[in-house]
Amino acid sequence: MDEEAVIEQLNAIVELELAGAIRYTQYTLMIFGHARIPIIGWMKEQASEALDHARAAGEEVTTLGGRPSLGIGAVVATHHEGIDPILAELIEHERRGIGLYEELLTLVRSQSIQLEEYTRSMIRAEQLHLSEIVKMQRSH
């Protein structure tokens, strides 16, 4: 297994998940209207989940003897007026995350059962999560 490449990939995940925690927190401040309370509640859960994911990826970095990234991925760049553009941005963010985990899988597949299990379970969790957001965008 190319440990350097795995550590680098895990660090990209740390940065994206941390940015996710901040993003979800920022979005909670831009939600208004009838659905505000349930949507904010859901976003707060997503923010702490992203933080858990950042920590989990960071733990894998240190398990491999690497240095965890102190960086952070892209956060929200504009103030959104409605929920739809927020959902569109979230879908893009979640797809990027799944992409990073899928790249990680190509690095660890058949190399480390432990890391492969971790990566597969993350892909499944993130995929379910993405499907939820896509369904929130739908009207029926």
Residues lying near Fe ion in the complex (CB under 5 A) = 53
In the complex with Fe ion, the residue whose CB is nearer, 4 or 48, is 48
Q: Contact at 8 Å (CB) between 66 and 116?
A: no
Q: Contact at 8 Å (CB) between 133 and 94?
A: yes
Select the residue whose beta carbon is closest to Fe ion and give its number. 53
SS3 labels along 56-120: HHHHHHHHCCCCCCCCCCCCCCCCCCCHHHHHHHHHHHHHHHHHHHHHHHHHHCCCCHHHHHHHH
Q: From the centroid of its chain, how far is CA 61?
A: 17
Q: How far is the CB of 140 from Fe ion (least distance, A)?
A: 28
Q: How far is the CB of 61 from Fe ion (least distance, A)?
A: 16
Q: How far is the CB of 74 from Fe ion (least distance, A)?
A: 15
In the complex with Fe ion, the residue whose CB is nearer, 25 or 32, is 25
In the complex with Fe ion, the residue whose CB is nearer, 2 or 43, is 43
Q: How far is the CB of 116 from Fe ion (least distance, A)?
A: 18
In the complex with Fe ion, the residue whose CB is nearer, 23 or 53, is 53
